[in-house]
Structure formats: C-alpha cells, structure tokens
Amino acid sequence: MDDDQNRQQEDWLNSRRNRLPSFTEVLSRRTRPPVDLFMFYIFLQREGAEDILDFWLDVQQHENLCRAYFKDVRKSGRTIKEDWPQYWEYARRRGSIYGTVVGLQPNAVKRSTTSTSEMINDQEKNAMGHPADEKRGGQRSTTPGYEKEYIPSPPTAVNSPDLDPPRSTTPFSLSGRTSALFNLKRASRAPTVIPRSAAISRMDLIASAERIFFRYLSPVGTVNSPENHEIYLPPALRIHTFPLSSTQEPKSQSDLNMMAHIPDMFHAQKEYCFRAMEQDAFPRFLRSKAFGNLTPVSALVRLVIGLIVLWIGLAAGFSLIFLDVQPKSKRFFLFIPFAFAILFLISHQYELDPILVFLGQSESTPFRTLTIRESYVRKLLLGRAIWVATLVSICVVALTLLFWAVPGHRL
C-alpha cells in the first residue's frame, strides 16, 4: 500500500513539472509560490473580490465541522438514524454530501455526493488553513474537526459529466436581491471559528451556519455589523432568511425539520462559488503570476520612472549632438539612462522584471517579493525573462549606436 501511494505521489509530481496547477490543487495547498493559495487570496484582495474565497473556505470549514459531528456520533456507538432522525430522513430522501460518513449506501443517494470539499487530498488536511491566517502570522483556524477529523478523498474533476449541476436543497425562502459588493476594500476577516472545549453538538452546527449566513448571504444593511459583506449569488441560490437561532434550541417539529438542512445548507452556493472562481478569477491569476512577476502598482511605477529616465537620456543625447561635445566616444555613456529607461518600460509592458526573475523572486504585494518555488512557473518566467532581457539589450544598443552615429552640429 505504501509503495502504491509513493508511486502515485511520484507520478503526480512528474505530471506537475510540465503543466500549470489546477484550481483544486491551489485550494488544497498542493502548490508553491507564486501560484499558491495565499497568493491567490492576495490577488482577489487586490481586486476587492476576496469575499467569495472567504465564503468558500468558511463553508469548507462548516462542512468539516459537520463531518466531525457525524464521525463523533458513529464513534460513540450510535447511528445517525438514532441520533438525528430528521437529518437521516432528509439525507435518505434528498441525498447528502455526507452520505458515506453517515452510513448511507451510495445507491441510496438520489443526487451526486461528489463535491469540491472532497477534492482536498488527505496529505494536506493539516495545512488547509485560511490564507488570511498566514497574513496574520501563520495562525490556523481552530474549527473543531477541521484539522483532525477531515479525511477527504483524492482530487476529482469538477466538470465531470457524472456530476449533477449544483442546486439548492434548503427549504428557506429564496428571492432576488442586491448584487455582490466586491468593491469594498478592507482587511480580511478571520474564518468561522468555534472553540472546541466539549463534544460537537447540533447547536454548534447551527452557530456555524448562522455566522456564515449573516456574514455573506444576509443583505447589506439588514444586520448592523461590519462583518456583513454580501456576496453575489444567482437568484435561484440566494437564501432569504435564516429562521433558526444559535441561542435557542429548536423545539417545534418544523424547526427540527429545518435544522436537518443545516449540514448541506450552503453546498450548492459553495459549488457555484468554486466554479465562478475557477472560470473567471483563477485564469487571470495564472496569467498574472505564471507569466509575470510584477503587481499592477509596481508596473505603473516602472512606467513613470521609465518615461522620466528616457526623457533625461534623450535630453542628454541631443545636448551632446547639438553642442558637438568631443570626443564623440562620450556618447556611449548614454547607454546608462537608455538601459534603465528601456528596462522599466518593457517591464511595465510585460509586467515582468527580468532581474527579479533571474534572482528567483516574484512580487506578492508592491515592492515586496517572495521566492519562486513552483518549478514549472520558474521555467516559464525564466524563458520570458530571457526574451525581455534580449529585447531590452537590442533596444539599448540600437538607441546608443543611433546617437553615436549622428554627426555633431553646434547650434
């Protein structure tokens, strides 16, 4: 078994040497800078769109918490049917992503139980924290069951034809509401955290779902809290109300039936967010980090500096010509301003600084760099850096020779 696992790991590493990482691999922390989860989070934060990744990660933790609860119940010797009959009946009739965990037979589930949360490899279960935690000094979430209980399946294809399209399975009322507020610049929030000082209870699951709802799904303005930042969801997936409360245990039969939807409550929304990021933000992230190593601000600064230095070089060159300064070989010193100017201008155009690439560095935030550790990305950037350096050299040599060849004429 160990030999098979080692062989599979080696095959996976070999395949990674000649391709860019997939979105699933980035989310599961199986990639290295500059195409890792932390860099993707910074990329979204720069666009003011990190809410959608925050939501996906928090729902991931919520689902891990539910898995931990179900596993604790089964370890205690009880079945889910005995412990939570309302959820068992719901999962039997409607299907659930926790089918194998709660003991349902695969052929008894009416809808697909494959989800993006099951694509996270078990080798990364202890590393999959919230990327904002790294920014705060490497602290990880302490959500119960997240690091200890979650043993996901190997990665599978998201767009597999065997998968049913995501759909909401909650009974809560849905309605069209306002669009996403992705234009709010702010510091990242901490993920959903429930301190585990005792066994996980169903009230903990309600509290986790309640926090997620009021953070991301409740319309802005309905909750007087700075943590309320509604994300965009299509009308069919919008949850209008959250009728349960984490401070009051459900008593009525209707509340108990509603509570049965808590484990799967956000799964369809999470799948939608996964596909939205995979199809929109992630390709732009790869283009930004696998084919360039500068941030937009840094590239803009290089453009401004390059234009200023080019103006200085041209002014000096024309002065040497029209003052007929001798000896003529002094004009060769024009290569200094021309080299800096052309380097900065072409670096802006390609969003790539060849000097940083040769040093193995890529910018994470403006003028702050980290080491390029992803081998295939390093190879791509090195090839582009060689091309940019060659282009800069040709332009500098051409400009310098042009100003050297022009005969002097004193005005």
pLDDT in tens, 126-178: 444 455 554 444 433 333 333 333 333 333 333 333 333 333 333 333 333 32
* Cα(232)–Cα(158) distance, integer angstroms: 21
CA gap 114, 96 in Å, rounded: 9
Q: What is the pLDDT of residue 7?
A: 66
For the beta carbon of residue 280, count every other beta carbon within 10 angstroms. 12
Confidence at residue 190, expressed as pLDDT on a 0 to 100 scale: 39
Strand partners, 79: none
Cα–Cα distance list, 8 to 14, 126, 152, 302, 318 (Å): 10, 20, 17, 45, 65
Q: What is the pLDDT of residue 103?
A: 67
pLDDT for the residue 151: 31
Write out residues in the chain with pLDDT < 70, as ranges: 1-16, 101-198, 220-227
Residue 297 neighbours by CB distance under 10 Å? 13
Q: Which of 233, 60, 208, 206 is closest to 131 using CA atoms? A: 60
**CB 144, CB 65: distance < 8 Å:** yes
CA-based nearest residue to 406, from 334, 337, 345, 339: 334
d(CA 112, CA 125): 23
Segment 241-277, tens digit of pLDDT: 888 887 788 877 877 888 888 899 999 999 999 999 9
Helix (H) or strand (E) holding 368: strand 368-371
pLDDT at 17 (0 to 100): 72
With beta carbons less than 8 A apart as the criterion, state whether 212 and 62 touch: yes
